[in-house]
Structures are given as C-alpha cells and as structure tokens.
Structure 1
Amino acid sequence: MENWLVLSLGILILGLLVGMVYQRVGQAFDRRKYPPPGQLVDIGGVRLHLNCLGQGTPTVVMDAGGSAPAIAWGMVPAEIAKFTRVCTYDRAGFGWSDPNPRQPRTSQQSVDDLHLLLTKAGINPPYLLVGHSLGGVNMRLYASQYPEDVVGLVLVDSSHEHQMTSEMWRSVLRISWVYQVLRIFSHIGMVRLIGEMNLLPMLKVLKQKIQKYPLAVQTLFDTFKSFCYRPHYWATASSEFAHAKASLEGLQSVTSLGSLPLMVLSQGAKDPRISEERFQRWAALQLDLTKLSSNSQRIVAEESGHWIPLDQPEIIVDAVRRLIERV
C-alpha cells in the first residue's frame, strides 16, 4: 500500500513537471509565432501594447470589450486608418500587454493606464474615443475625466450601469471563479492541451462563430487562442469580472457629457439564447445612453448581435467618419 502511494505521488509530480515544461515551451513558441504588431510602451514597470495606423487628426482611440484583446476589433482599425490615425491597445493582462496583478482590473484603472499610455507614447489629443461593451464603460469614464482632450465618443453596444440584475451578478461571480480555476490549470499546460484538442468550450464556440466572418478575421483566431493559454489571461479576466460591479458603479456620477458628439451603436439581432424581455431591456438602456449628450445619435445594427465589430464593422467605421466630419 505504501509503495503504491509513493508510486502514485511520483507519477503525479512527474505529470505536473511535464505539464509545466509543455506550457513553458508552448509560450515560447507562441511568442515567436505571434509577435506584437505594434509597440510595447512601459508605463511604469508594466508594458502595454499599442498599435497605431494611418495619419490625421483627431486620433481615434479604441478599447475592446471585457476579456477581449485589441484584435477583437477585426478589420475596423484598418478601415479607419484610411482616413485618419487610429490607435488600438491591449489592456494590462490581455493580448500582448504585460499583466499587472498588483492593481484590480476596474474601469478606473483602465482609464488611468490608458491616459498614461497615450502620454508616454506621445499620442497627443484631440482624441475620438471608441469603446465596445465594457470598453464603452472605460471610454465613457475617460471622456468625463479628460473632457478637454476628447472631441467625440462612439459607444458600441456599450455596457450600462443599470444592466445587471441580482441573478446576473451571481453569474458574473461564478464566471470569475471558473476563470481562476482555468488560471491554475493553465500553469501546468492543461488549458493548452484541451484547447489544442478543440475541447475547451469557449474556444470551440468561438471557432464555430468565426467561420462566418472574412478570412482576414478568421486568421485572428489562432492568435487569440495563444492568448487564452496564458495563466495571466485568466487571472486578468477573472479580475475584470470580479470588479465589474465597481466599474459600473463608477459610472453613476457620469450623468452628462455636455454637448460632446456622441454615437450610440446598438445590436439589432437578438441572440436566441436571450429572452425577449432581456433583449428589450438592453435596447432601452442603449437608448438611455443617448441622454449623456445633447449632441447624440443612436444607430441600430439590424444584422448584428453583441459583436458589432465583427458582424457589421462598416457601421462603426461610418460612425467614426461622420463624427470626424462633424468636429
């Protein structure tokens, strides 16, 4: 019996060591295969990935949704770059940016990081801000705190401070816990192994969805998959979910952006998994966002679900172009 326990423990330790080596080798391979397309800017011991394209003013600055890297914008930045400068960035812990476990991943922290990033990189205002989902929360907060730097705002199916019910908050906390489990498993290569076998549910669903998009967007899947194999991706995503309540509560004081040119882009195609009541409530909250400015307009992306950047990217590009013409 004692020999059996020793043998079992030895096999377990050996398996863990093999998994850790597999993970380390895989990460090194990913770094060589998927180099950052932009620059890594040190904002004080943490490097954030910033990628700027095109020329012109104002500079369009884009922030992706919750747990999403900048590549989630798909082809939108490249199209905007045809008529002005556009900068996308990865929040700390996502994409090619370094993690920052010392700071909780709240919207206020994202605003502080972004302001420092733009300053350090020499990206001077004026800015036209574009934010999707949770990125919309970040950009709305940024516009309220640096109004002299911002000349326009595009909210793409943005989160709203009153969107969460008690049941939804419990779901968010459960997801945060699951992400912490995935963080632990990713250290020993389990997430990588399961992902390569196409058995990781999140990646499996995403792979099926992304097949309907242009080839240039489909090719981004492998890059995103490499991000998901990193332990700090899940740690950061967990922190964003765990602090979502604080992020949304931080918007309660942002009741007006004055006459700032504002475009609110909302999904128009209901996800069949979502009830009609919930969908109509979301639509009402999207309409409420137009009250933030006396100079606002709402556009419904009739053929899009929540992922407007991939479903109807031309709507975002057109909204940015119209705001630039206006300002």
Structure 2
Amino acid sequence: MTIAENLIVTGLGITTIGLFAGIVYQAVSEAIDRRRYPPHGELVDIGGFRLHLNCVGQGTPTVVMDAGGGAPSITWGLVPSEIAKFTRVCTYDRAGLGWSDPNFRTPRTSQQSVDELHKLLNKAGIEPPYILVGHSLGGANMRLYASQYPKDVVGLVLVDSVHENQMTSDAWRRIQRQLWLYQVMRIANQVGVLRLIGELNLLPMLKDIKQETQKYPSAVQALFDTYKSYCYRPHYWATVYSERASIGKSFEQLQTVISLGELPLIVLIQGAKDPQISDERFQKWSSLQLDLTKLSSNNQHIIAENSGHLVPLDQPELVISAVHQLIQRLSTQRIFYD
C-alpha cells in the first residue's frame, strides 16, 4: 500500500469507530433519559404507535390542550395544574414530540394531528364535552378539531394562534433555511453528535432556551432538563421538520374553517413585541389575531400586555382565567353534563 492509501484506510477506520461509538453513546444515553424522565400520565396505543396523555383534576367539561409547533406538552408550564383545581384537564404530546412515539406514515399536518387526537380521546375514554385550548400551531389544530366535531366542543381558547394568512415570501424563505437545519440536526442526533455538543453547553439553541427559562418560576425552570432530553431524540427533529415542511398544507386545511357559529371563543394575543421582530411584522400578527375573533359571533379577545409569543409561560394566569370564564359562562347558561 502507498502512504496515501494507508492514510485513507486509517481515516476510514477512525471514522467508522467514531460513528459506532457515537451511535452507542446515543442509544445508551436515550435509555438513561427514559428512566430519568418517565412520562406523567399514560401512553395510549392508537394503532401501531402510542401517544402520551396526562389528565389531572376532576369536573366537566374536560379541558384539552395542544402546544405550539415542535413543542411538548410540558411547555404549558404551570397552566394545567392550576386548571386542575376547578375541572379536569388533559394535555398530550403530538406524535414524535415529548413522550409520544413518532408517526411518519403521513406528513405532520394539522388534519393528521386532529385525527390522532380524536382517536386518542376515544381510546382513552375521555368523553366530551371539551373546552379546547391551543397555543400557536396547537391553536390551528384545535380550531380544525372544533369545526369537525362541533357537538363535542363547548368552548375554544386560541393562545397567540397561527393564522393561515400569516405567511409572506420572507417567512417562506426563513422556513426553508430552518428545514435544512432540522435535517442536519436529525442526522447529528442519530450519531450522538448533537447530544455531545449540547451536554458541553455548546449548542446555541439550548443555551438560549436555558437562559430564557431563568426568568420563570423554579417549577418551570426545572422542566428544562426534560425538554433537553426530548431534543436529543432522533425522531424529534424529523417530526419538527415534517410539521414545519407541512405548514402550507395545514394552512390550506384551515381555510375551510370559515365559521364556528356561536361557539364561545376567547383569543389571547401577545402584547409585548420581540425586539428582533419589525413593527410591521408585529402589527400584521396582531391584526391577524383579531381576525380570528370573527370565527365566532360569541367572541372575546384579551391582550397579554406583558407577554411575547409564549403567553402560557409569560402570563399563565390569562390562560387559566380564560378557561375559567368559559366554564362559568356555561354554568350560567345552565348547561350541565353528567
């Protein structure tokens, strides 16, 4: 063998050993994470894969909550435990997020999420009526659910929800750049590279999230390590990629939801502009949020003056109060369910 050939063979050998070590490191670490951060609630098989569901509290109607794009149910922070003081509340993780198994049989559109949530509630025996609460992308999913199962839903809370008319050419370009990054992170996760970088505190995304959580109560800060463990799972980034790549299709599905009739609707809108967002973008977002109130003739909107997009963490009391208002309104109207 020539010197060049020896170098190539040596390089390939080192690369193979490195990849094998990374795969083993990833597999062992994932197993440790699953023991260290067991799911709260239950894992329900809805047909070849399991979704994580956590229901607490007692009472009716049942509040069902769906988190934002790429976000696990723990990002609701303190909201579910407070709602559980006056009624039953169920949070769940969409397929591939949090503690739920992935499902890549079809693209991760809003309709797919609605179909899976409906199966989950039926399989778990969570009977209607429901008050649906959705943040960001979760708002789109809950809006679609309410339109397709109107007899089951008695109230809807949209928390700074996405809107089908929000996309601009600049926004689409940002998404394309993000999709490339998600693919890289998915591959890096499979061989343990992303986990290694993250554990060395060198991953900018996790550093930013950890810093951001410092302003929240200690109970919310404590969720960071659990959230980080989700980010190290290979299917997590594949799921985020599919949700984001399918956002155009999800918005097409939303365009069919023109009216929810007289369904009690509360729209919570962020009031504190992110410094990185232009005034024009912020004004457009606010205008689209107000447009969501037109979905129902029985509507109310509330400005979260001290919140950015993460209203459930910035001002959780507003989400809790909105749900409580709807329940009181139903009680006043003498709508009771046994």
TM-score relative to the length of structure 2 = 0.96
Q: 1:88 aligned to 91, 102, 106, which one?
A: 91
Task: Report the identity percentage.
Answer: 71
Match of 1:138 in 2: 141
Instruction: Determine whether 1:204 maps to 2:234.
Output: no
Rounded to whole Å, the distance in 2 between the matches of 1:320 and 1:201 is: 35
Per mean C-alpha deviation after superposition, the further-off stretch among 220-229 and 248-257 is: 248-257
Instruction: Determine whether 1:253 maps to 2:228.
Output: no
Rounded to whole Å, the distance in 2 between the matches of 1:69 and 1:233 is: 10
Letter in 2 for 1:34: Y
Match of 1:297 in 2: 300
Match of 1:128 in 2: 131
Match of 1:324 in 2: 327
Give the secondary structure class of the aligned counterpart of 2:117: helix
Match of 1:230 in 2: 233
Q: 2:274 aligned to 271, 275, 278, which one?
A: 271
Rounded to whole Å, the distance in 1 between the matches of 2:169 and 2:297 is: 32
Instruction: Determine whether 1:180 maps to 2:183.
Output: yes
Rounded to whole Å, the distance in 2 between the matches of 1:109 and 1:54 is: 28
Give the secondary structure class of the aligned counterpart of 1:274: coil
Letter in 1 for 2:157: V
Q: 1:69 aligned to 59, 68, 72, which one?
A: 72
Rounded to whole Å, the distance in 1 between the matches of 2:263 and 2:166 is: 23
Compute the displacement of 1:315 (Å). Answer: 0.3
Compute the displacement of 1:68 (Å). Answer: 0.1
Judge conservation of contact 1:151–1:260 (CA < 8 Å) in 2.
Answer: yes
What residue ranges of structure 1 are gaps of 5+ in the alignment? none
Compute the displacement of 1:198 (Å). Answer: 1.3
Rounded to whole Å, the distance in 1 between the matches of 2:183 and 2:291 is: 34
Match of 2:335 in 1: none
Rounded to whole Å, the distance in 1 between the matches of 2:120 and 2:94 is: 10
Give the secondary structure class of the aligned counterpart of 1:250: helix
Match of 1:152 in 2: 155
Match of 2:50 in 1: 47
Rounded to whole Å, the distance in 1 between the matches of 2:50 and 2:165 is: 33
Rounded to whole Å, the distance in 1 between the matches of 2:246 and 2:274 is: 26
Query: Deviations 1:103-139 (Å, cap 9, x if unpaired)?
Result: 2100000000000000000000000000000000000
Query: Deviations 1:30-54 (Å, cap 9, x if unpaired)?
Result: 0000000110000000100000000
Compute the displacement of 1:280 (Å). Answer: 0.6
Give the secondary structure class of the aligned counterpart of 1:169: helix
Judge conservation of contact 1:19–1:190 (CA < 8 Å) in 2.
Answer: yes
Query: Deviations 1:273-311 (Å, cap 9, x if unpaired)?
Result: 000111011110011010000000000000000000000
Q: 1:243 aligned to 239, 246, 251, which one?
A: 246
Rounded to whole Å, the distance in 2 between the matches of 1:251 and 1:32 is: 39
Compute the displacement of 1:173 (Å). Answer: 2.1
Rounded to whole Å, the distance in 2 between the matches of 1:214 and 1:247 is: 34
Give the secondary structure class of the aligned counterpart of 2:196: helix
Aligned length: 327
Give the secondary structure class of the aligned counterpart of 2:309: coil
Instruction: Determine whether 1:28 maps to 2:54.
Output: no
Match of 1:78 in 2: 81
Instruction: Determine whether 1:6 maps to 2:46.
Output: no
Rounded to whole Å, the distance in 2 between the matches of 1:222 and 1:64 is: 18
Letter in 2 for 1:168: A
Rounded to whole Å, the distance in 2 between the matches of 1:101 and 1:109 is: 10
Letter in 2 for 1:109: Q
Compute the displacement of 1:80 (Å). Answer: 0.1
Letter in 1 for 2:277: I
Match of 2:172 in 1: 169
Letter in 1 for 2:120: L
Rounded to whole Å, the distance in 2 between the matches of 1:167 and 1:273 is: 15
Rounded to whole Å, the distance in 2 between the matches of 1:164 and 1:200 is: 28
Displaced runs of 4 or more, over 2 A: none
TM-score relative to the length of structure 1 = 0.99
